[in-house]
Structures are given as structure tokens and as C-alpha cells.
Amino acid sequence: MIKEQIYRCADRILTSGVQPTPENISIDCQMSIEEVLPHWQSWKRDLSARISFGQKDVYVPDAPDSMSIAFGRIWQQAVEEASSRLVSDQRHLGTNVEEAGRVTEDTIKEMQYRQQDLENRLREQNQKVGELGGHNKALEAELSVLKSGFASETTQRKQEEQIRSNVEHELAHLRKTYEDSKRTFDQRIKDEQRHMLEAVSKADVDARYYKNALEKLRDEVGKKESVLTKSIHDLKAELAKKDVKIETQRTQLRSQDAELKLLKQDNALQSRELARYTSSLLAETNKTKRLEDKARDLDGEIRRLNQKQHNSTVDWSRRENSLRKILKDKEDELVRTLARLTSLEKRIITQDEELRRLNSRL
């Protein structure tokens, strides 16, 4: 029952000009696809046996005989007309194929000629492209060389600028150091000169003081010597007088023993006083010698201070000359560096012009 219903639905869909499918049949018969699928497959297998178009009479199942006969006639006419059209189309197609073959051969020959011409042109273009590629490679190599040269020049210029900045910084530092050292040396020399002048003035004051003291001592010693000499002369005169008296009064010696003893005592006292004066004179002489030695030491100290001042002046002048020489060398080096920088700038300008020319060529 289900099979016949499915067959009728499939035949109805086929006669309507639509290919029967399980979906169409399931919708038309209102069944599930699982139920329709096995019967649809059997319907496809039995379709060639149920409908035969190779015979003169076309059998259509479940259709009246008159309709089947009419449908068979229509189908036969359609088949004959289709066969005649197929034969005419085949003949026309054969002639068209021959003409198309000839046209195709001509076209192929023309295309071969064109292909050969295009290949020749392509070879020429490839040669030109190769030449242009070689020229381009040469230009690229030259450009790379120029770029590397420009990069090296730029690096060298940066290095020179760095060296120049370092030299300027070092020169400024040297100038500052020179000025500071000069100020320090000047201040030190001024201080040393002031100290030396103070020491010299003190030494002069001390020397004048000691000289005055020495002169005073000399005056005092001279006075004392004159007094002592006078006393000695007086004593000698008295001794002479006493000797004369002794010579003249020898006869009175015995009678004048007491007076002689007194005179001897006076003489002893005078001798002791003379010895005391002599010792004081020696002490003053020694003191005078010590003062003279001290004055000589002061003179030596003054000479040593003068020599030290002279050595300091010579040392400062030598240092100043060395600093001036170093400053002059640095200035010469700066001038050479500036000249090198100028030459490098000129070379960079020429390299830039060369690069612009090459870029304009490219």
C-alpha cells in the first residue's frame, strides 16, 4: 500500500517535469524520509522497466490507453524531430569544425609567427634588461661605495667634531688651570715676597739692633779699655814711682817695713782689681765675639733668604715658560684640527654634489 502510494507520487512528480527526490516525495505523500527512501530506490530501479521509450508504443503506468497512445505518438514525433535536428546539427557542426580547424590552423600559424616575433622581442628586451640590470648593478655598487664613503666621512667628521670638542674642552680646562695656577703662583709669590720682606725687615731690624748693641758694647769696651789702660798707666807710673822710691829709699826699707807691707797690700789689691778688670774685659771680648758670630749668622740667613727668593722666581718663570709652551702647542693643534675640519667639510660637500648628480642620473 505504501509502495504503490510512493510510486504514484513519484510518477506524478515526474510527469510534472520535476526530478523526484525523497524530500519531494515525503512532502507530497506526507511521510517521513526514512519510509520513502527504500521505496524511492526501488522506484528508480523499476523505472526503466515501467516506462520504455525505445518501442513505438509508450507505456505509461496508471494512465488510460488512449492517453498512452497519444503520448507515445507525441513522444515518437519528438524523438524523430530531435534525431533529424541532431543529424543536421552534426553535419553543420562537421562543416563548422572543418572551417574552425582551418581557421584554427591559420590562427595557430599566425600565433606561432607572433609568438616567434614576441620571443625575439622578448630576447631583445631580456638583453636590454640584462644590460640595464648590469648598469643598474654598477650604479648600485657605485652608490653603495659612495654611501659607505659618505658614512665613513660622516663617522670621521663626527669623530673629528668629538676630538675638536674634547680639544676645546681640554684647552678651556688648561686655560682655566693656567689662570688658576697663575693666580695661585702670583698669590704664593706675593705671600712669599711679603713673608720674605717681613723676614728681611725683621732681620734688618735685628741686625741694626745687634749692630747698635755691638757698637754700644764696643764703645763701652773702648771706654773701659781706655779707663783700664789709663789705670794701668797710672799704676805703672805709680809702680815706677814706687820703684824709684824703693831704689831711692832702699836705705829706708828696713825702717819702713810697715809702710812697705802696706804698699804691698795696696799693690796686691790693685793686682786683684787689675785681674778682675782683665777678666771682665775678656768676658766683654767674648760677648763681642758672640755678637759678631750672631751678626754673621744673620748675614748668612739674609743671603739664604735672598737665594731662596731668587730660586722661587726662577722656578716660577720656568713653570710659566713650560705652561706657555704647552698652551702654544695646544693652540697649534687646534689650528691643525680646524684645518682638517675645513678640508673634511669640503670633501663632504663634494661627496654630496656627487650623490646629487648620481641621483639625478638615476
| pLDDT greater at residue 59 or residue 118 | 118
On the 0-12 / 13-18 / 19+ scale of CB atoms within 10 A, 20 is buried
62 and 11 Cβ atoms separated by less than 8 Å: yes
pLDDT higher than threshold 60 for residue 114? yes
13 and 24 Cβ atoms separated by less than 8 Å: yes
Question: Nearest-5° angle of CA 82, CA 88, CA 93?
Answer: 120
pLDDT at 246: 65
| pLDDT greater at residue 187 or residue 239 | 187
CA distances from 40 to 3, 8, 16, 50, 76 (A): 9, 11, 17, 14, 28
| pLDDT greater at residue 53 or residue 280 | 280
CA distances from 182 to 27, 169, 336 (A): 119, 19, 27
pLDDT higher than threshold 60 for residue 214? yes
pLDDT at 51: 57
Q: What 3-state class would DSSP assign to 254?
A: coil
Closest CA relative to residue 68, chosen from 52, 80, 83: 52
pLDDT higher than threshold 60 for residue 165? yes
E-only strand ranges, the chain = none
Rounded distance between C-alpha atoms, residue 253 and residue 82, angstroms: 218
- Residue 172 has a CB neighbour count (10 Å cut-off) of 10
| Domain locations along the chain | 1-50
Q: What 3-state class would DSSP assign to 256?
A: coil
First to last CA, the chain: 91
pLDDT at 94: 64
C-alpha cell at 356: 646629487
Mean pLDDT of 217-229: 75
The average confidence (pLDDT) of the chain is 76
pLDDT higher than threshold 80 for residue 307? yes
Res. 4 pLDDT band, cuts 50 70 90: confident
Largest Cα separation within the chain, whole Å, is 236
pLDDT at 309: 78
Q: Which of 7-16, 122-131, 143-152, 199-208 has the lowest mean pLDDT?
A: 199-208
Q: What 3-state class would DSSP assign to 220?
A: helix
pLDDT at 249: 64
Backbone angles phi, psi at 155, to 5 degrees: -65, -45
Burial 203-229 (b: 16+ CB within 10 A, else e): beeebeebeeebeebeeebeebbeebe
pLDDT higher than threshold 70 for residue 129? yes
Q: Which of 5-19, 72-86, 115-129, 332-346 has the lowest mean pLDDT?
A: 72-86
Give residue-wise pLDDT tens across range 266-289: 777 877 877 887 887 888 888 888
Q: Which of 7-16, 25-34, 254-263, 351-360 has the lowest mean pLDDT?
A: 254-263
Architecture in CATH of 1-50: Orthogonal Bundle (1.10)
Q: Which of 2-16, 55-69, 151-165, 244-258 has the lowest mean pLDDT?
A: 55-69
Q: Which of 248-262, 293-307, 314-328 has the lowest mean pLDDT?
A: 248-262
C-alpha cell at 289: 765675639
Res. 55 pLDDT band, cuts 50 70 90: very low
pLDDT at 53: 46
pLDDT higher than threshold 70 for residue 52? no
216 and 307 Cβ atoms separated by less than 8 Å: no
C-alpha cell at 81: 524531430
pLDDT higher than threshold 80 for residue 65? no
